[in-house]
Structure 1
Amino acid sequence: MQQPYSHLKTMLWASPATKAYAVVSGGVIPGLRDLLGKSDVRDWDCLWRGALPPEKAARAPYLIELDPQGSFTDWLLQEAGQIYPDWGVIGLGPVSLMAMRDHSRSLLDVLLPDGQRHRWTWYDPVLWASLLPRLDALQLDAAYGPLTDWVVVRSSVWQWFTLSTGQLIVTPRECTPAAAA
């Protein structure tokens, strides 16, 4: 059953304690950092540490606390999803921006079997959606940290990945096409 965008958006804030954080790749959305500086988001921060040269800051991932009433939220979830379908993912939970930033940063590096650490783009929605169902219970706990849900937003389907009592529940929710909404 298809659901209108407004209903799916409301579901992001289904609990009064829940906050919605978008992890967005500056490498996918050009000019993201400048856009954030002018937007109505509640707060945001870069996931890469330290002072970055402009070209690196332009490609960096950003953590954005979405405002349920904000125009940036509507733009990201509707328009950007059409133009830049792989912009990132949304994490849901009763967590502060700083705690979410620390958790998101903890996911940036992976330890390979050869003992080397490598940075990876875990917030790539295709990668994240295919990886989460393959994780064991301990890995899921690490991937979720303080969160209850990860959401991958697509133009036609929003996928909820809910961690409930150690079990991953994947719920696709079809979205009414923007032209028909």
Structure 2
Amino acid sequence: MRQEREHRLMQAVEDPDIERDDLYLLLDGAALPALQIIYQHDDEPRLEPLYRGTRHESMLECSPILYSLAGQHLMWQNRERWQSAGLLLKSAASIDELASHLRSLLSVRLPSGELAFCRFYDPALSERFFDSLTQDELSAWLGPISGVWLTTEHSEWRGFTTNQISLGRTADDEGWFSIRPEHLVHWQQQERQRFIQRLINHFSADDFHEKSAPELEAVVKQRVHEAETFGIEAEQHLLAYVELALQFPDAIDSPEARIGLTNKEEAAEHRLARIEASLLGLHG
């Protein structure tokens, strides 16, 4: 039986203490010029590109970079340069041992058995990834890592620490961590919720719908679910449908409009274009 966690893992925390000698920075080399930023702040950095010596070495120029941050005040003072694309890791392991363990996590095994990149070093994904793991999965994934910190889009630090550390893996073990179908379902649900919230925020800025915030949220959720039953699933098409439904709620619920919207033999964008033209009186 899997041991599920009852609460979210990441919590609001104070700024990490960079004086400690077990603090590392993991930068997303695909999101920023990681090596350039490091060398601009440290003449003799201790670092490891994670793609070095792996099957991903042909992409070394965009490799995630593991860097020893201990006592590097200049790098820390200019953290706005990198904090949106980096994680702070606490580990008593050497930089070589930690890099080897992280290399084993560059790819994960999907339920189909295929390998897929895992961008765990992207703060935009990290919190959701860690929160989706069971306690046993998290402990195995962390290995010698005893703390993880990241910043939110509002530059607030969030993180967690643990005493349940274990030996790290080696780069040759890449793909050992398996993704369960439940993980995929969980992430899909999260993405859907985030999209619906973006829709709510988008339409909250408009005043044509004349709805209170709770009413708008209820209508957006209802209309998204409705569109999905019509086979309208792409985000841009859902946005277009919800906007039409807010502008023309009665007309879009008419039998004539429903016949056109539910015709799944026609592409969603064509159905929406035709319905929009009809609602706006643009015929011919």
- Structure 1 Cα separation of the partners of residues 164 and 36 of structure 2: 40
Match of 1:26 in 2: 29
8 Å contact from structure 1 (residues 33, 57) kept in 2:
no
Match of 1:108 in 2: 106
Q: Structure 2: which amino acid aligns with 1:163?
A: T
Report deviation, 1:22: 1.1
Report deviation, 1:37: 4.0
Secondary structure at 1:71's aligned position in 2?
A: helix
- Structure 1 Cα separation of the partners of residues 89 and 75 of structure 2: 17
The alignment yields a C-alpha RMSD, in angstroms, of 2.7
Offset from partner CA, 1:50-74 (integer Å, 9 cap, x none): 3945xx3332111111132431232
Higher share of residues assigned strand: 1
1:4-153 to 2 correspondences below 5 Å: 8-10=15-17, 12-13=18-19, 18-30=21-33, 32-40=34-42, 42-50=45-53, 52=57, 56-75=59-78, 77-81=79-83, 85=84, 87-153=85-151
Report deviation, 1:128: 1.2
Larger radius of gyration: 2
Offset from partner CA, 1:102-141 (integer Å, 9 cap, x none): 1111111100111111222111112111121221122111
Match of 1:159 in 2: 158
- Structure 1 Cα separation of the partners of residues 125 and 141 of structure 2: 13
Kindly report structure 1 stretches of 4+ aligned residues shifted beyond 4 Å.
none
**TM-score, scaled to structure 2:** 0.47
Match of 2:265 in 1: none
**TM-score, scaled to structure 1:** 0.70
The one of the two structures with greater contact order (alpha-carbon pairs below 8 A, sep at least 6) is 1
Report deviation, 1:158: 0.3
Q: Structure 1: which amino acid aligns with 2:76?
A: T
1:165-180 to 2 correspondences below 5 Å: none
8 Å contact from structure 2 (residues 24, 70) kept in 1:
no
Question: What is the aligned residue count?
Answer: 150
Unaligned runs of at least 5 residues, structure 1: 167-181
Task: Return 137-146 or 105-114, whichever deviates more.
Answer: 137-146
- Structure 2 Cα separation of the partners of residues 70 and 42 of structure 1: 13
